[in-house]
Amino acid sequence: MSPRRSRPHGDEPKNARAVTGGTWLERTESYGDEDWRVRAVAGDSGKSYRCPGCDQEIPPGVGHVVAWPALSMGAAGGVDDRRHWHRACWSNRERRAPNVLRGRGAPRY
């Protein structure tokens, strides 16, 4: 017996992209005086990424957000323009101070 669907077939939005574990929408958001295309991903690619918001690793299997400038070439943007963010880091991007890279021996003040 197959699992029961929670909604009838054909009820998904036209611009939705099916991803394992659910349906994610692509949207446009503003950040840093330009528009960005934003897509939530399930994180099942088996790769790890570095979040530009907190400079921490996003391990494989963790859902996150992919963002790229809306004016990039092509519908999906250039591969070099895409950035993988933790969902919380993307949501709080306007409230964050710029990342300051310190050496291991530098004081944290």
In tens, the pLDDT along 7-59 reads 555 544 444 444 444 445 788 888 878 888 999 998 888 889 999 988 899 99
9 domain residue, yes or no: no
65 domain residue, yes or no: yes
1 domain residue, yes or no: no
In this prediction the pTM is 0.61
Structural domain of 46: 16-93
54 domain residue, yes or no: yes
What is the reported pLDDT for 104? 64
104 domain residue, yes or no: no
pLDDT of 108 over the 90 cut? no
3 domain residue, yes or no: no
Separation CA 16–CA 57 (nearest Å): 27
86 domain residue, yes or no: yes
Q: Quick check: helix, strand or coil at residue 2?
A: coil
pLDDT of 69 over the 70 cut? yes
What is the reported pLDDT for 58? 93
The whole-chain average pLDDT of the chain stands at: 74
In terms of Cβ atoms closer than 10 Å to its own Cβ (0-12, 13-18, 19+), residue 54 is: middle
48 domain residue, yes or no: yes
What is the reported pLDDT for 97? 63
pLDDT of 80 over the 90 cut? no
Residue 91 DSSP code: H
Separation CA 65–CA 84 (nearest Å): 6
pLDDT of 106 over the 80 cut? no
Q: Specify the number of domains making up the chain.
A: 1
What is the reported pLDDT for 95? 81
pLDDT of 65 over the 90 cut? yes
